[in-house]
Every structure is written in structure tokens, then in C-alpha cells.
A and B are shown apart, each in its own frame.
Chain A
């Protein structure tokens, strides 16, 4: 059972990563969703899958481990929040840039590294000097 789910998680994560690397922004969002599915299942799998009762005290024990379930419940909701935010950001980006090609969203960092554009550290040009202050006592 655990081994089967380990393989399934592998498939989900692989699909998620492949989607994450695509050019279409919607697919990037879907990729994250797939990775989230995989991770949720992984958390439960690692805790051990036993043929026991769900953690409802109205039933008779023994019960499965409730703690990973609580963690995953949080993760599902947060995952939804992430998806929703990404989607609206994608929408906004599409409206501003006029396309949804992730590769074409430049961030202005791509530049010639050798160009003297002031982007290297030079101890002599750390900041413009303020006017010289007078520190000597004039008695």
C-alpha cells in the first residue's frame, strides 16, 4: 500500500514539475496544484497506512494517526489560496503585458554582466560623500 502510494506521488510530482516548466501561465498554476496533490498524499503515506478506524471517537478504535490529517487539511486550504492568488496575478499579467507567455515576462535582470552599469561593488563608490564635517575641537 505505502509503496504503491509512493509511486503515485512520484507520478503526480513528475507531472507537476513538467507543467511548472511550461510557457503557459495557466499550466504553471496547474503544475503547482499537482505538486500540492502529491505532497498531501506523501504526508499521509509517510505516517503509515493502516487498516484502522478514522480518528472519530464515536467509532471503536484503534484509530489511524490524526496528526498528519490535521496538517494536510491546513495544506489543502492554503494550496487553494495559493492557486487563487496565482490565477488572478496571471490574469492581471495577461491584461498588462498582453500575453501569457511566462518566458517573455522579463524582470530587467538580464543584462551584460561586463557592462559597467554600477551593479558591481566598488568600495570607493559606496555612496556619495556628504559634506565634510568638522571634527576637530577649535578651542
Chain B
């Protein structure tokens, strides 16, 4: 085995005596290597999370430096009984995430299957898939504002060709949330495509060949052979995309601005918590919202991963 190593690499280390600090460093390499990064993340996370929990139990508002007093679970009580802003925001978060995920997984699966077997021009299609993924979300929001503009936007002109009347898209109170979900679908379906494609190409060939010999239809092979084998990858895609979709901020803020629009029509939990923190400086209540939000995220992740263990 040793022959593969170029001799000149090893030689100096053998001849020079190892100084004490170097021996110490080698013995403690594990923590020496992992320590700084972990310390950085821990300081930037653990302290803020602890502080958020603390703030959620106080009446902090106005300025982050202002005096605050401990008020127990008062903020949580306020938040959980708030049917005006909080619960609608929960509803929008669930609706946005659910719709975006559903479309992204279904469309992502369809496109991944289209790309599965090699074809001419594959390179171009793959490049096209990458573009929405890397495009800056704020710019994407602005771009769709122009395309979906009720008066000058291309979207309504295109609908006109098919005899469909103009839609309010982002400007409608009822349509805005689903329109932003569709923008999320445009930007992030490619992510699901890439993940599922990676999963598809790593599947074994034999079961498909066996099914082909058995004279199955394409749909039957997908339903009873491909999909079950691909299920773990599908769950990974849902998990990764779900964590980001539930926290969507850029697209919502770029298209509708503060408070999720004049009627809070796209105000999800994340946008609501941001507004409470930085537009209204209601730090105590904002922190309570954030703690609940975090529990919702962890809770849904837990449900998904529990499901995954059952499947495998």
C-alpha cells in the first residue's frame, strides 16, 4: 500500500524531530480541527437562541437596550390568542409551504424522469435547470413583479392569447399568496429535479429490466418499481426543500414589502416575526412568535424523519 505515496513527501517529516507543540497538536487534532468552526457556530447560535427564549419571557420593546421585565408566559398567551395576525400567518405559512412543496415534488419528479435517460442536448437542458437555482431571489422577485404586473406584464398578455381574462396575480388579496408560491416553485423545482435525478441514476438497473421482461407498462414500472426505490430520496428532497420553504423571506418581502402587503396577504410567520422585530421593535412578542415558529419547524422535521425510518 505504501508504494503509492511519493517518497519525497514522507522524507522530511521523518528526518526532522517533531517539536513539542506539533506533537500536542497531532494528539488533539480532532478538537483542534473541529473546535474553531463549532465554537463559531455555537457562539452565533446558542447565545442568540438563548437570548430569544429569554426575550420571549419579557416585555421587551422599543429598543433592544431598553429596560425589560420578566412577564412569564404572557407573550405566548398573547400570541396564541391572536386571531388577527398570528393564526392567519400560521395558515399562510402552511398553505405556502404545502402548495410550493406539492408542486415542486410533482413537477420535479416529472422533469427528473424526462431527463433520466440520456438524450441529445442534455447539456443545455441541465444548464437551464441551474439558472433559476442560482439567480438572486430578490432579483427573481423583482423580475416576476414586472412579468405579473396586471397592466403591463407579459403574463396577462399571454393569457389574452388564449382568451383568458387578466388576473390580479400579486396585487390580488386572494391570489398574492399562491402567486408567490408559484414563484418559489419556479425558483426551487430545479433543486428537486437535481436531487431526484441523482437518486434515479444511482438506482440499480435489474428491477427495471425484470419488470420490462414481465411486460409492464411505463406507468406500472414507475409506480411499483421506480417510486418505491426512490422514496428515501423523495423524502430527503421534501425535507431539504421544506426547511427552506417554510422560512421563505426574500421572495415575499421583495414582491409585497413590509408586513406582507397592505392587507398582510403574504404575511407568513417568518415575515410576521421580521416585521415585529424590525418594523415595530416588539422584541418580546417577536421572540415568542419565533420560538413557536422554531418548534413548528422542528416538529414537522421530526414527523418527516420518523416517517423515513418506518419506510426503510
Our verdict on whether A and B bind, yes or no, reads no
